[in-house]
Amino acid sequence: MTRTPKQPLPPEQIEQVFQILAREMPGRGPGAMGPKGQPNPFRTCISCMLSAQSRDANTALATKALFRLARTPKTMLKLTDQQIATAIKPCGLYNVKAKNVRKFCRALLDDFDGVVPNNRPQLMQLPGIGRKCADIVLQFAFGIDTIAVDTHVHRVCNRTGIAIGNNAEKTAEALNEVAPQWTFAEGHFWLIQFGKRVCLSRSPQCDICPINEFCLKRAEDRRSKPA
Ligand code: SF4
């Protein structure tokens, strides 16, 4: 039997879901300055690259150690792969990430005179910068509102039906189409906090979830339960 592809929630329900999330979840706090507090575009890019598959605390240790050694693309390229890898060890995958940091700095200098571009297509031309990092840089370093999709946002969007995509990038594209404009400034924060507090990866708290009446996963789970 072929399964019908999952359909996103209708626009009026997406609006209602965001209204509830806006009321129930914390938004952008006054201290929120980007990944691990790095408002500078160059350092935001590097922090985001280092954060892949790493816990926040470990990423913070790695970025702190690396930025103690170098804070610009030029000075970063004076470091060897080994020096970078040693500094960023706490965030894991350090050999690969060290190479990526150098590739990113090289391309930034060669293609953009060392200045981080302030638009998504150009950001995504840089090695190591995918859609999520590009959106994080836009929002946190340039103040351009957009909902960056990380693993929590991707999971929440697909479970609820706010936006459907088989990977974070596809979800981000879909979300960009359907999210009301008023959610762009803080939607990222509401969805992440909701994913960390309620719609947990392994044990979603569906019974106490404030948006459970809209949720596609909840409806599916109920349908598939034996009577
Ligand atoms: S009902 Fe459950 S699966 Fe759906 S959004 Fe809420 S916690 Fe997540």
Q: How far is the CA of 35 from the centre of ligand 1 (A)?
A: 26
Residue-wise pLDDT tens digits, 13-64: 999 999 999 999 998 875 555 444 557 999 999 999 999 989 989 999 999 9
What local confidence, expressed as pLDDT, does residue 39 receive? Answer: 75
Judge if 127 and 54 occupy the same domain.
yes
Q: Mean pLDDT throughout 188-210?
A: 97
Judge if 129 and 155 occupy the same domain.
no
Q: Which of 158, 215, 221 to mutate to test the pocket of ligand 1 (most atoms within 8 A of CB)?
A: 215
Q: Mean pLDDT throughout 88-110?
A: 97
pTM for the structure as a whole: 0.88
What local confidence, expressed as pLDDT, does residue 35 receive? Answer: 47
Q: How far is the CA of 204 from the centre of ligand 1 (A)?
A: 6
What local confidence, expressed as pLDDT, does residue 3 receive? Answer: 53
Residue 215 lies in a domain: yes
Atom of ligand 1 nearest to the CA of 198: 7
Judge if 62 and 134 occupy the same domain.
yes
Give how far the C-alpha of residue 99 lies from the chain's centroid of Cα atoms, to the nearest Å. Answer: 22
Active site residues: 132, 150
Provide, rounded to the nearest whole percent, the portion of the chain with pLDDT above 70.
93
Per-residue pLDDT at 6 exceeds 70: yes
Judge if 75 and 161 occupy the same domain.
no
What local confidence, expressed as pLDDT, does residue 32 receive? Answer: 53
Q: Mean pLDDT throughout 167-183?
A: 96
CATH of the domain at 21: 1.10.1670.10
Q: Mean pLDDT throughout 139-148?
A: 93
Q: How far is the CA of 92 from the centre of ligand 1 (A)?
A: 31
Provide, rounded to the nearest whole percent, the portion of the chain with pLDDT above 90.
87
Helix residue ranges per DSSP H, 55-130: 56-69, 73-77, 81-87, 94-112, 120-123
Per-residue pLDDT at 113 exceeds 80: yes
Residue at which a domain ends, from 142, 171, 197: 142
What local confidence, expressed as pLDDT, does residue 28 receive? Answer: 82
The total domain count for the chain is 2
Judge if 135 and 169 occupy the same domain.
no
Any ligand 1 atom below 6 A from CB of 9 = no
Judge if 88 and 57 occupy the same domain.
yes
Nearest to 104, CA basis, from 49, 36, 145: 49
Q: How far is the CA of 226 from the centre of ligand 1 (A)?
A: 20
Any ligand 1 atom below 6 A from CB of 206 = yes
Tokens 């914390």 correspond to what residue? 26
Residue 171 lies in a domain: yes
Any ligand 1 atom below 6 A from CB of 160 = yes
Output the six-digit token pair for 5.
Answer: 């592809």
Q: How many helices (H) and strands (E) does the chain have?
A: 13, 0
Cα distance between residue 227 and residue 224, in whole Å:
9
Judge if 113 and 193 occupy the same domain.
no
Judge if 91 and 129 occupy the same domain.
yes
Atom of ligand 1 nearest to the CA of 209: 6
Q: Mean pLDDT throughout 101-128?
A: 97
Domain that holds residue 198: 11-27+147-222
